[in-house]
Structure 1
């Protein structure tokens, strides 16, 4: 495998040394006497995301038979184009010969990255006779450094409660990707293993302390039953159904909010309750008890209901409507939905059945939920906030057109559309890191980073979106056709985002003041552009591009 040690990293050396070394994609070729030859990657997790272009040091561990002294390693660096496609020709190739080297030693190769963006690195180990012994592939990204967290409506789902990559490694990457929020959990069963005894895992303290240090806001889910401490209460259901079970859950909430209430100001009640098995009345009772428990300890905290639940991820507000009928309108500060749409696009979505909206898409769901909350205001006069606490597209080789470039385009377009309709408090992308390595398992492939923390196009696209559009509000539509969009964000310092919705390139005919502009693609690559007439035909593609007035 290919090992990449980058001398410029997001992390301090001490932090990097703590990281667990992981392996990358591995493709083995075993032939004859060279069956034991391997090209191995042992790079530090996250080190393939850097903040400056130029020379990068790639370190390869090579294992060959002792007598194979003239084997060669060839490293090629490939760029991506403005539509997220891998270019067929490498920027450069680098070759090293393994001379008089015992097996298991390492070599270093310096490669150059001339600009910002994403690059694929291919490495091949060949015998002196030209036979391929092993090969591996990876990616590296060059992105603009961020000193501040991203916009207040950009969030991403993490899994620190489940262990895995330390927050000291992962959270700086979350910040670099342009997110200001994470959504994670604090499992009841992990905290109270014996009745009435609350012990908090070190990993819980660590990720929330790191959030506070980096200025990242956590939305924490309070969830799941506790058969470990209370086997009788949860013998038939993992949900607190009885008054006694709800009382024990409230004690857990008290303990959690007392410990973390200074850092966590937003709490979500449960994750994706299955209302085909859990009655709305039972959930309403738990919501009321949890709301009271949170407010008793932390009066300024917010409680988010529904946990994204409801039919089809709740895009029709099923759970909220039920909570209103159950008398729980005032026992929440907002509610959440999980309106997944793969493999459909965020603009068109899919046709709904038996729902108050005909299609589930961003342009239909967001306005509907905004109107629904306007019709049901709390007794204190405050409207409920709408939260999208999970939404994402996987990289899915089983579905034509659901590749890495499509994931990147859907991410950027979803956040741009969400800002355009102005209904959602925070939108959380699911999720930040792939949950596994099986390319045929959809659940393993929602991440912006692969399981080994190497970047996908979506990571780079998210970082560029956040730094380019920033906090600018949606101003107006320059083009709003079925297949082509061109939206302006901001007025005094505008940024225009343009894209197509049908997977093809197209023209957006827009009217702009004549002058000099900068066109920026998803990788952050800037191209000077001069507009000489007010009517301008702008060529755009599936991954949004940006037009920025050149004020220099």
Structure 2
């Protein structure tokens, strides 16, 4: 008789059992991977007024969901668990604060995570636009988008104007016959129904004239001018129009190649339009120029010296300079041109396009940059500001498609859902609609930004500090109201006529009247290590170049050469002796700072670069050290430049120059970090 090996049999049975258990576990894991969860909207875009119920409908095949709500500062403010009934969860939540929020939901089946989903939502305070007669704020839509959805969302954002086009080719399909259809009529009616006003761009090409390119013929110019007049006749409530859009760039100057051709075309079109429309509609503000941020002084001057200022009531321009406060440079460029051609006098100026794409900037950076850009523009004489765009143009991860303050209808995070910048713009419109700019106050210049506005008998100050510091506010009032970047209000009681608050890079709005000396910096001790970062996209960065030689100019590097955060970097192909880049720090806390620099790189192929890049370190304007870096060998990493004692103030900086004798290899620049360890 053969002896049975019971031990081996038990091992085999155990192995089979473990295999079966593994199969069961794998099948449950497979189930978890295959399950889906959707979050449906009760309100378009999940954009709620403060008094609305904040509701969501969640569909999933599961036992229950775990959910959590996070605010702009990534703080979990609410969470919970709800049973799934009939594959559905009706979720109502109450953050009890204003602003932008992220909602995450995880489905649970038999204790396992079977799927997850995120969306975003915004809560804005109730705001009656019918009471707003004066406003600087414009939202941007496009004719092919859903105005049924976007116009009510623009109303919630709190802008008074919507910039869009009723296009020439849409209303003149036969020569001399102008037909305004249902879409155009509905657009104007929807604006009125939501207490909004149109800020209309008169454009663009018409296939009936000049072969569908820029209307340069006498017939084409007159036809365009008649279209402008017919538009104002059809919609007598229109108060603002722009003539054409960005004539300096190829997209909007088709058929033209030289600067002279483009400037002649635009001047003649503007004059013809003004001559046709203004006599019949003298109260309509006709804005001219409408140039991109690529327009040169030469381009502007050639139009203005022909007498273009006599054919416009307002001057419009666009700017997408990356640092919010750097808008001042572009504003002054246009002011100087106007003064030069207008006996040193200005006319009203509109920054009708500006914004920050979340292809280049993070959503939080966009949210922070937006109010800083708007306030800097208002403080420097701009009367109306258009934020480009209300809605993302696409779901593609590209620059043009990602300027929106809300997402595309096909976005995986939900149709029309807000980015944080939607909430920061909404908070700003509520504070500054109807307000008048008074002064940029000199409170620790370079360390604190302070802009004073008045609204009725109230004062509103917009304050922030990019490097962080404290401020004392002096008042005879019992208290001051401070509104954060998301619109939330906190009342601070005055002690000995003083209120002390901390400032950071996020602007706040300080309401009520202050008394002299109004505000003073309150130096705060450093309680934890922190870093200050400077660069082309976030400020403190400047360049010196030799513009007469193309290869010696600072330009944006090719897309494959990236910086520390994946953004494009700056490069000079053949640096001249005077070529340099400077990173200037705003130091609010004196101390020992470690300084490091990021060397741009190409992950797939080494970027050609100088082997002798010199970084000179200055403290209070005096050189205290220098480090030579091989940008070719050390690319793609942070390089330590050493530690240096830096005083408070704005005169601490690092200069980059090329010390390679031949100056025949590219000099590259990205970001610099100043790190203080208390």
Normalising by structure 1, what TM-score? 0.77
Which of the numbers 219, 240, 255 marks the counterpart of 1:266?
240
Whether contact under 8 Å (1:497, 1:547) holds in the other structure is yes
**How much has 1:245 moved relative to structure 2?**
2.1
Paired position in structure 1 for 2:461:
496
Whether contact under 8 Å (1:284, 1:328) holds in the other structure is yes
**How much has 1:327 moved relative to structure 2?**
3.0
In the superposition, relative to structure 1, how do residues 523 and 327 fare at CA in structure 2: closer, same or farther (>3 Å)? closer
- What are the within-5 Å matches in structure 2 for residues 247-262 of structure 1? 247-260=222-235, 262=236
The question of 1:337 aligning with 2:317 is answered yes
Paired position in structure 1 for 2:127:
146
Q: How far apart, CA to CA, are the structure 1 residues paired with 2:306 and 2:239?
A: 26
Which of the numbers 153, 157, 170 marks the counterpart of 1:190?
170
Paired position in structure 2 for 1:170:
150
Whether contact under 8 Å (2:357, 2:403) holds in the other structure is yes
Whether contact under 8 Å (2:349, 2:382) holds in the other structure is yes
Q: How far apart, CA to CA, are the structure 1 residues paired with 2:430 and 2:77?
A: 28
The question of 1:75 aligning with 2:67 is answered yes
Normalising by structure 2, what TM-score? 0.64
Q: Secondary structure at the match of 2:308?
A: coil
In the superposition, relative to structure 1, how do residues 545 and 166 fare at CA in structure 2: closer, same or farther (>3 Å)? same
**How much has 1:287 moved relative to structure 2?**
1.2
In the superposition, relative to structure 1, how do residues 214 and 32 fare at CA in structure 2: closer, same or farther (>3 Å)? closer
In the superposition, relative to structure 1, how do residues 405 and 135 fare at CA in structure 2: closer, same or farther (>3 Å)? same
The question of 1:404 aligning with 2:363 is answered yes
The question of 1:420 aligning with 2:379 is answered yes
Paired position in structure 1 for 2:552:
none
In the superposition, relative to structure 1, how do residues 259 and 304 fare at CA in structure 2: closer, same or farther (>3 Å)? same
Whether contact under 8 Å (1:308, 1:390) holds in the other structure is no
In the superposition, relative to structure 1, how do residues 159 and 117 fare at CA in structure 2: closer, same or farther (>3 Å)? closer
In the superposition, relative to structure 1, how do residues 258 and 527 fare at CA in structure 2: closer, same or farther (>3 Å)? closer
Larger radius of gyration: 2
- What are the within-5 Å matches in structure 2 for residues 132-531 of structure 1? 132-148=113-129, 152-162=134-144, 164-167=145-148, 169-227=149-207, 229-230=208-209, 233-234=210-211, 238-260=213-235, 262-274=236-248, 277=257, 278-309=261-292, 312-314=293-295, 319-342=299-322, 345-347=323-325, 349=326, 361-362=327-328, 364-370=329-335, 372-377=337-342, 384-396=347-359, 399=360, 402-421=361-380, 423-438=381-396, 440-451=397-408, 452-476=415-439, 477-479=441-443, 481-490=445-454, 492-501=457-466, 504-513=467-476, 515-531=478-494
Whether contact under 8 Å (1:151, 1:179) holds in the other structure is no
Paired position in structure 2 for 1:353:
none
Structure 1: segments with no counterpart, 5+ residues: 1-29, 65-69, 350-360
Q: Secondary structure at the match of 1:283?
A: helix
CA RMSD of aligned residues (A): 2.9
Structure with higher RCO (Cα < 8 A, 6+ apart):
1
Q: How far apart, CA to CA, are the structure 1 residues paired with 2:502 and 2:428?
A: 19
Q: How far apart, CA to CA, are the structure 2 residues paired with 1:467 and 1:242?
A: 46
Paired position in structure 2 for 1:91:
78
In the superposition, relative to structure 1, how do residues 234 and 213 fare at CA in structure 2: closer, same or farther (>3 Å)? same
Q: Secondary structure at the match of 1:41?
A: strand
Q: How far apart, CA to CA, are the structure 2 residues paired with 1:388 and 1:434?
A: 20
**How much has 1:35 moved relative to structure 2?**
5.8
**How much has 1:170 moved relative to structure 2?**
2.4
**How much has 1:338 moved relative to structure 2?**
0.5
**How much has 1:367 moved relative to structure 2?**
4.4
Whether contact under 8 Å (2:470, 2:501) holds in the other structure is yes
The question of 1:56 aligning with 2:44 is answered no
Q: How far apart, CA to CA, are the structure 1 residues paired with 2:118 and 2:249?
A: 44
Q: Deviations along 1:453-503, whole A, 9 cap, x unmatched?
A: 2222222222222222332323341525213212322284112221123xx
Q: How far apart, CA to CA, are the structure 2 residues paired with 1:53 and 1:288?
A: 49
In the superposition, relative to structure 1, how do residues 36 and 196 fare at CA in structure 2: closer, same or farther (>3 Å)? farther
Q: How far apart, CA to CA, are the structure 2 residues paired with 1:183 and 1:490?
A: 26
In the superposition, relative to structure 1, how do residues 54 and 43 fare at CA in structure 2: closer, same or farther (>3 Å)? closer
Whether contact under 8 Å (2:335, 2:346) holds in the other structure is no
**How much has 1:374 moved relative to structure 2?**
4.3
Q: How far apart, CA to CA, are the structure 2 residues paired with 1:115 and 1:189?
A: 46
Q: Deviations along 1:141-168, whole A, 9 cap, x unmatched?
A: 2221111255734333433422x2234x
**How much has 1:129 moved relative to structure 2?**
4.5
Paired position in structure 1 for 2:38:
40
Whether contact under 8 Å (1:405, 1:458) holds in the other structure is yes
Q: How far apart, CA to CA, are the structure 1 residues paired with 2:176 and 2:477?
A: 70
Paired position in structure 1 for 2:101:
119
Structure 2: segments with no counterpart, 5+ residues: 1-27, 251-256, 409-414, 515-678
